[in-house]
Amino acid sequence: MRQRSRITFVSVVLGVVVLTAGCATKPVAQPQPQSDKQTSIEGSIASIDTQPWAYDGNAVIQVDTAERGRVAVQLPARWNLCKAAPVNVEALAVGMRVRVVGTAGTDGQLVVCQEEAHRLVPAD
């Protein structure tokens, strides 16, 4: 009986320690979205990856900009679900200067889809 009460006591003490430690730790701060608003950039295409379209993912066009460095521009596989006009990816090439208008994501990327004004076009 004495052994059993000792095990119960140790279990209770360990439970209290775990609960106290859980309450005392600071929760990890979740990054806040930088914006969910329309943003535009201009720069040169560094790479074009359309492979994600094979499984309904977003194609990614990497654009080098003077202001923001390299920006990933997301192009959806299903343009029929977008308000923006489809981007003619076949007309794009690495090194080409482009202008992009899209929705800014939480990690600095741009998504061209949600608004009629969104686009990825050659810069004049």
Q: Report the chain (124 residues): mean pLDDT per 10 consecutive residues.
A: 62 64 48 64 96 92 94 93 92 96 90 94 89
Q: How far apart are CA 89 and CA 75, in angstroms?
A: 9
Q: Report the pLDDT value the prediction gives residue 14, as an integer from 0 to 100.
A: 64
- Provide the sign of the torsion angle of the four alpha carbons 89, 92, 45, 36, taken in this order: negative
- pLDDT tens digits for 9-42? 666 666 666 666 555 544 443 333 345 788 999 9
**In the structure encoding, which two tokens stand for residue 76, read together?**
């959806």
pTM of the model: 0.69
User: What structural domains and CATH numbers belong to the chain?
Assistant: 38-122 (2.40.50.140)
Q: How far apart are CA 99 and CA 121, in angstroms?
A: 5
Q: How far apart are CA 64 and CA 111, in angstroms?
A: 16
User: From its phi and psi, is residue 81 left (phi > 0), alpha (psi between -120 and 50) or beta?
Assistant: alpha
